[in-house]
Structure 1
């Protein structure tokens, strides 16, 4: 549990960790303190894997990067990939990452959302990448993840023309997979999903995430290698034995 004033407020919910981007007075704009907090959180979840739910405080997910800080950055900071490296680390976490998207998820906020494995939205959602209007590109993940998520034609319109999707368009494009009535309902849906994940074999979930994120050229070898490990696991034997026993009892 972190303090109420922390840029990233953390709550241990048992089956998962709930992380709330906590700069509502700035529409949760992503600054260096938040990036540092994300790295700290990732270090914890890399050491002790659990599902992560990300949301924003005050009715917005994150309205973008902190422009005041971004304006002062120069070429060395661009090459360092300050936001990029943090979002890549979020995406690479061993267990699933679920984003609850309410209100604005723009620019860097959208790119943090794209780094999640599962995204739920609300009717107030506005998501997109208007970076070119500020004289920069969407370099923290959108330029490669968005094409994979929604296809190249729509990704091109979002990135090249600055189109911002509303909730219905995001749902139709598959950028979110569920549209809840409001932020509370979206969080409840995310927590139910985290609860279901917690009942599964963690090793199998982590293997599935690795396989899902592997390039096409790595298949089927990576699938077979991961499956070989799981086939020899005691947990696989235990779960399958229980399944067969339940089937037997139902006859």
Structure 2
């Protein structure tokens, strides 16, 4: 569903390829001429997707252009924010938090977000991936933050999300020295949870989505929401969320089914 309460219409997107199923929405970033650089139109279209998923929660799969192992062409998730637009932005634009606002919204979606990463995931593309709950990558993945080489900083989440994901020393090397991680390096750092071949990337992402979809959606949403609460909010928020789930029809149905399966 979109903001108007209907299913997302793939024909209305210019920078995204959108496929909606009953339990998930797959979104492929699709600006191949500029290596999937994130521009204002892509930001606006991703906001539309968020509006739909906030109204009718589903798993979100974010992908880029897949690689072609037969021809040796690497895939690309997103090469970063569109530099031609960044060049024209001024102080007022920075204060709007154009990309950071979008990535914060994606991170806060009710259901989990899976980023399937192949080829370049740089700058804003990497920061978009950091906002996901899960990241799966390929050996061709190249991930990093080249912003300081362009006279700006990574201001859409990298300065704090990356530190939480990989620790301060490596985060500083990526942010301040421009280190680019390979797929193997991302796996070793815990930045991705699975390393696959390019041809297996989308199936692996859907397999993870399948595993999530087998869980109770309300329980998944509650768990994700409570997971991100500040430390001093626990255990109170846990107890409140559990109290709601204890009264849900799905709890009774799923527990009764579990007990029935155990009967001789």
Q: CA deviation at 1:128?
A: 0.7
Q: Is the 8 A contact 1:63 1:105 kept in 2?
A: yes
Q: Does 1:130 align with 2:114?
A: no
Per-residue deviation, 1:247: 0.9
Which of the numbers 200, 212, 221 marks the counterpart of 1:206? 221
Q: Map 1:1-251; keep pairs closer than 5 Å.
A: 1-3=9-11, 6-58=14-66, 59-182=75-198, 184-249=199-264
- Given that residues 60 and 102 in structure 1 are in contact (C-alpha distance below 8 angstroms), is that contact kept between their aligned partners in structure 2? yes
- Number of corresponding residues: 248
Q: TM-score, normalised by structure 1?
A: 0.96
SS at 1:61 equivalent: strand
2: distance between equivalents of 1:74 and 1:38? 23
Q: Secondary structure at 1:29's aligned position in 2?
A: coil
1:165 Cα deviation (Å)?
A: 0.5
Distance (Å, rounded) in 1 between the aligned partners of 2:236 and 2:169: 31
The Cα shift of 1:14 comes to 3.1
Q: Distance in 1 between matches of 2:180 and 2:218?
A: 37
C-alpha contact (below 8 Å) 1:5/1:22 kept by paired residues: no
Q: TM-score, normalised by structure 2?
A: 0.91
**Quick one: distance in 2 between partners of 1:6 and 1:119?**
25
Please, which runs of 5 or more residues in structure 1 have no aligned partner? none
**Unaligned 5+ runs, structure 2:** 1-8, 67-74
Cα separation, partners in 2 of 1:102 and 1:4, compared to 1, 3 Å: farther
RMSD: 1.2
